[in-house]
Structure 1
């Protein structure tokens, strides 16, 4: 390149003196417009012909990175710039590395992308980046071959063929000087661990080295000691000795443990209006006399920052001051709270929602432009978005705009909310089964839930259509309806139903939702003469069961009109995997039945079909204990209960009764055969 520039300067300088530029032309441009090229050249009509200036303009063009070659011709007073541009990268293919998210992350890290201009030096750097990434994952002696293929006249396709090397496995970990903590405890949080026996099995450690995490493992070992009160512990940087013949390694840490400290006095220094120091102290997890635990201190700091943040201080600072007493082996802790400026929301910026509309996301946010910042509202907004089930991940960050204004950056990763399914199968009870359905709980990104489907088997035929808008016109109200037709052949009877529901609801406060609705159903039930199964009491007592008695229990033809009410509470943090919170709901149905009774029915139930109240409830509790046991474990408790009450002398049809057992069955009994009866039936 420099030779051409010098040559151009020597040739031009001999005959440019005293000539003026009458025209400037550019030939061979694709990535720059002539007007932009004119600005870069900075040579205009009427300028003196200046070899040094032309030489400088050529350098400027090369500095743009678009050109393999640039040269200038002179025809009278006309300067003609000729360009040979670099080819563009049309496609990048990495073979032998991985696919999906792993492959996407690699492409983002190698410094090349589609549309870039090809440069051999950058391509070689990309090769080294691939090798470095694989070494960080424990692969050594990796070979990467780069090949190029022309695509048209101005583009090129790159292919990186990756031949992964061998994995380095850690055969032994040594914590020299460690006596008060077990090797298992020290290794627990490390990215690089000693290989377990049969480590290839699930839930066991295979010992593969993660080189990029090795330098951070020393801090993780130190953190283990800090969780157990060893404030003076020292952990050296790891020394890894690798045998490249066997591709295994041994890792050494030098450890000095020191004394174990207990918590002495704990205090809070603050002068923030609205904060109750005594209440804050009572909520701290680090208590006097307990063994010091850095993880609990971090939790206390987070809780204190949230308490200050609830008063509008988005950038509150919590600074712990620790005063160790080696003689008593105690540490006094003082948390110094600094509020900073009160902050208001400037704007809410949403990203990642390819399908879900912005307004759908905004209606679950408890902070809007102009609102005073509140840490609890921010946390609840994230939980509310998580409960929708629309997103795999929700992240809300703050972006400082000025001393007292912030933007909220809401980034979501959408979940697969829609399904189209069709299938079949065979079961011993239901025989051949066919089904198909279309459902989406976030239809076209509107937040509306809808479904339509059918399933058919030897004993059942079901059709259903449902629709629910949880935020009608972006309000606190919800509206839903369902239409269904069901036919099911139980052990003792066959049931045929046609009906629908209409529901109107409203959100009250932050976690409560209440709804009311109307329902209608036409039920036709008939006993199965050939399949009737009497109860064990009837069989043991040799009770004679006539057709009238069978019809008494299982022959029902009636129409039901019902009114139902529901109230629910839900403050969980996620729809798919809740880690904290509670779910509770109570539903009551007030039903009125109208139909004709058989002769046996009239004798047994002189009041005929009447009215009943069906009450059902559910409860769920979720509690993550990772902060306490240093392991990602969630305790979950669930319970359901239901009851049905009618008037004396009035019949409650079998279709409305409650049956025991999981999905309709209890071991040792026919499906749907356990329900309250009369005289052992």
Structure 2
């Protein structure tokens, strides 16, 4: 309650009039009216020789006088006195203020805001106290501010809204304590999360609602929504989905695509949202004529044109244009041509639905990088961020390189946010690159269970840190224990070995099983360091050293071959090898298709007991058809194991895994009696399709069909009688259906299969449940 007003500045004159002299009242009113109209009334002025302060405890009197702005002996008006009152009150330090003129003395009475003794949160269950404290400005031992408390309440309500609880309410309450202290309590009504009941699209023709729902981050409410959060309505996510949709369409040639509106309608019961995206697709464009011109004498247009990978007729994509520009500018750096810039000049042909692109090689501004400043990283070392840049201080400035570096920094997943900006340096021809990051957690501990029809139930404990000690290194350790096996793994990767674009890996593994044929136990220990580096835009080459220990024990079967192999005891292997991979899934011309080629060999015999050459190859291709509703995938795999120096392979060395579906692991190939021996060779061709089943998207269930052909064959060991079945290649054929489920526990795959062609002794498997993997 403020005791300030004009009544304290001007004392009213009270006049007692006789009731019977009413005419005198009219005379007085007329006089006042005349004075006000003629301007003869003058405002009251004040002059104070002293200023007294009362009620202040923490704030110094001089501070209050400074806020008032009243000088000793100065003549001020009532309006100026009112301004002084407003300045003191506006300082935010006082709960109430009154100003009382007392002749030549001015008395200022204040009541200070109390200090905050304690901040508490009541009613919160979904967000912890320590999380909520990070949102508010109010702090213990600070002066309490009602405005700040109200602002804090709004921020907390918005935090709940971002977590899908748009009906949350936060009310600040104050509890008075002694010594002018208060407890600030935020009473929270969290409300229920509001799910997205339905996501629809209006105006889409090229792609179905089902396909577009797979693109965006928001999801419809599912059966097990308590275990997932993406079906909760979050306004910021809806805004992000608009951009995702634009990127999706434009990467597929729809250059005129735009989201014309987004409607999020709350259900009458206020328990669900119905979200509708209104889109305008436009026409799909393809690349027309591709040309390159040079406006720089040092740059030959033909040389740079040969570096292009895009060709006429390919569906237009801005990403392909950006990649082409980057490829040309990297070639310029290689050729020593500084400040070369590539300008794409696009000509639109609406009749043919093509876009002609002319890549113009021009001279850019002569601007250099003065320095790179990095802020916000408390754990991650500067060098981890710096090595994402292809440039250093003193290099020519290229905005494209800076943007690409920013994307690489974000792709590390070490930071919540990573902003990279360039500003003018100490001279007009220099720039300073500012990197501001906000770190996030990079480590995790996992406890879980796994199941497969071949290995049974398993319990898994794991630790993972992808930014170990802030050095950008990854370290993972896991233990998988089952009824008949135990697997221990430790993997370490340094992505920039000796500051180069070379990944150094180190792997330790120990596998113990008693499941192979249920007839013998195995122990395998592996020590494997490796170096991997890029050799082309899509290719990587890795070299490794492999030291392993293998033992077969406790054989209880009837095979003379396996008995002889078990009798050899433990054997050591020491060898080197390489692996080459070529992967176009991320940088290929078609966003819906890609191939993966992997080829590797291991040469054992550098010490140890074994001398062999092991070769493996894999080729996988995938594409999406029928408006990306159906995924077609083909895989061709093979392997070859050749022991030398008169040595023979053992079952533990040979190929025994499940090479095609429809048969158990080590369920096909050479046998002695009824016991499978594995083989020195294997080959498999797998064809499959994945397609929607027409079920609601929120179920996360799709279907598939597959056809597999393959075999395992070849054993260079003979028993006493020399009888080994399936020694030579004999193909097996399997068809089947699959059910894919994007479950809260991970992507699951269930295969139902039937063998069209098998051999005597084969162990068929009509059903298996595994975790779905992407190639």
| Aligned counterpart, 1:644 | 641
2:17 aligned with 1:17:
no
Give 1:229 shift.
8.2
- 3-state SS in 2 of match to 1:368: coil
Report if the CA contact (8 A) 1:580-1:623 is conserved: yes
Partner Cα separation in structure 1 for residue 196 and residue 509 of structure 2? 60
- Residue matched to 2:602: 588
Q: Does 1:419 align with 2:442?
A: no
CA distance in 2, matches of 1:401, 1:235: 36
1:17-69 superposed Cα distances (whole Å, 9 cap, x missing partner): 36256x9898244xx7888767645568xx44666676544423333445432
- Is 1:161 matched up with 2:189? yes
- Rounded to whole Å, the distance in 1 between the matches of 2:375 and 2:9 is 53
Is 1:566 aligned to 2:605, yes or no?
no
Residues 1:358 and 1:567: Cα distance change in structure 2 (over 3 Å)? farther
Structure 2 spans left out of the alignment, 5+ residues: 12-42, 680-714, 725-775
Following TM superposition, by how much is the alpha carbon of 1:441 offset from its aligned partner in structure 2, in angstroms?
4.6
Residues 359 and 308 of structure 1, relative CA distance in 2, 3 Å threshold? same
What is the 5 A alignment of 1:91-170?
A: 113-115=137-139, 118-119=145-146, 123=150, 144=169, 146=171, 148=173, 150=175, 153-161=181-189
Residue equivalent to 2:678:
674
2:94 is aligned with 1:82 = no
Match of 2:653 among 646, 649, 656: 656
Deviation at 1:556, TM superposition (A): 1.6
8 Å Cα contact 1:218-1:236 kept in structure 2: no
Structure 2 equivalent of residue 345 of structure 1: 369
1:236 and 1:254 in contact (8 A); partners too: yes
Match of 1:399 in 2: 422
- Superimposed CA distance per residue, residues 354-412 of structure 1 (whole angstroms, 9 cap, x where no aligned partner): 64333334345433333334577557756766887x64888564333356424153647
Aligned 8 A contact 1:519 1:562 in 2: yes
Distance 2:461 2:243 in 1: 55
- The residue aligned with 1:360 is 384
- 1:665 CA drift (Å): 0.9
What SS is found at the alignment partner of 2:646? coil
1:459/1:228 CA distance change after superposition, 3 Å: closer
Q: Is the 8 A contact 1:268 1:281 kept in 2?
A: no
Q: Secondary structure at the match of 2:88?
A: helix
Q: How does 1:134-213 map to 2 (within 5 A)?
A: 144=169, 146=171, 148=173, 150=175, 153-161=181-189, 182=205
Q: Is the 8 A contact 2:507 2:527 kept in 1?
A: yes
What residue is the counterpart of 1:369 in the other structure?
Answer: 393
Give the direction of change, closer, same or farther, for the CA distance of 1:99–1:646 in structure 2 (3 Å limit).
Answer: same
The answer as to 2:85 corresponding to 1:62 is no
Q: Is the 8 A contact 1:518 1:562 kept in 2?
A: yes
Report the counterpart of residue 751 of structure 2 in structure 1: none
Which residue of 2 is the match for residue 665 of structure 1? 665
TM-score normalised by L of structure 2 = 0.55
After superposition, the Cα gap between the structure-2 partners of 1:504 and 1:113, relative to the gap in structure 1 and judged at 3 Å, is: same
Q: What is aligned with 1:605? A: none
Q: Which residue of 2 aligns with 1:4?
A: 4
In 2: Cα distance, 1:238 partner to 1:462 partner: 50
Secondary structure of the corresponding residue to residue 557 of structure 1: coil
1:444 corresponds to? 469
Matched residue, 1:519: 547
Classify 1:509/1:591 alpha carbon distance in 2 versus 1 (closer, same or farther; 3 Å).
same
Shift of 1:343: 4.2
Q: Is the 8 A contact 2:374 2:382 kept in 1?
A: yes
Deviation readout 1:548-582 (Å, 9 max, x if unpaired):
x55323222255251324355587899xx999896
- Report the Cα distance in structure 2 between the residues aligned to 1:200 and 1:426, rounded to whole angstroms: 23
Offset from partner CA, 1:81-113 (integer Å, 9 cap, x none):
6343277694667869x769xx999x97xxx65
1:193-233 CA deviation, whole Å, 9 max, x = no partner?
9xx9x997899x99x9989979x989989x989988898x9
RMSD value over aligned CA atoms?
6.8
The alignment partner of 2:295 has SS state of coil
Q: Secondary structure at the match of 2:564?
A: helix
The 10-residue stretch of structure 1 (449-458 or 651-660) with the greater mean CA deviation from structure 2: 449-458
Counterpart in 1 of 2:732?
none
Q: Mark the CA change 1:506 to 1:119 in structure 2 (over 3 Å): closer, same or farther.
A: same
- Distance in 2 (CA, whole Å) between partners of 1:104 and 1:398 is 30
Q: 2:521 is matched with which residue? A: 494
Q: Distance in 2 between matches of 1:463 and 1:220?
A: 43
Tell me if structure 2 keeps the 8 A contact 1:266–1:332: no
> Aligned partners of 2:647 and 2:279: how far apart in 1?
82
Residue 612 of structure 1, CA deviation: 1.2
Displacement of 1:493: 2.7
CA distance in 1, matches of 2:610, 2:87: 90
Superposition deviation, residue 307 in structure 1: 5.7
- Normalised to the residue count of structure 1, the TM-score between the two structures is 0.61
Deviations 1:577-606, CA, capped at 9 Å, x for gaps: 999896746352423676xxxxxxxxxxxx
Separation (CA, whole Å) in 1 of partners of 2:276 and 2:342:
38
Q: Which residue of 2 aligns with 1:597?
A: none
In structure 1, C-alpha distance between the alignment counterparts of 2:614 and 2:646, rounded to whole Å: 20
Query: Counterpart of 1:602?
Result: none
Cα distance between partner residues in 2 of 1:479 and 1:78: 79
Determine if contact 1:623/1:635 at 8 Å carries over to the other structure: yes
Gaps of 5+ in 1: 176-180, 535-544, 595-609
Equivalent residues of 2:533, 2:540 under 8 A apart: yes
Q: Secondary structure at the match of 1:359?
A: helix
- The 1:436–1:415 alpha-carbon spacing in structure 2 relative to 1, beyond 3 Å, is same
Alignment of structure 1 residues 624-643 onto 2, 5 Å? 641-643=638-640
Give CA deviations for 1:152-197 in whole Å, capped at 9, x if unaligned. 633422335365799998999887xxxxx84976997699x9xx9x
Q: How many residues of Structure 1 are paired with residues of Structure 2 in the alignment?
A: 608
CA distance in 2, matches of 1:428, 1:230: 48
Cα separation, 1, equivalents of 2:199 and 2:407: 43
Match for residue 553 of structure 1 among 555, 565, 570: 565
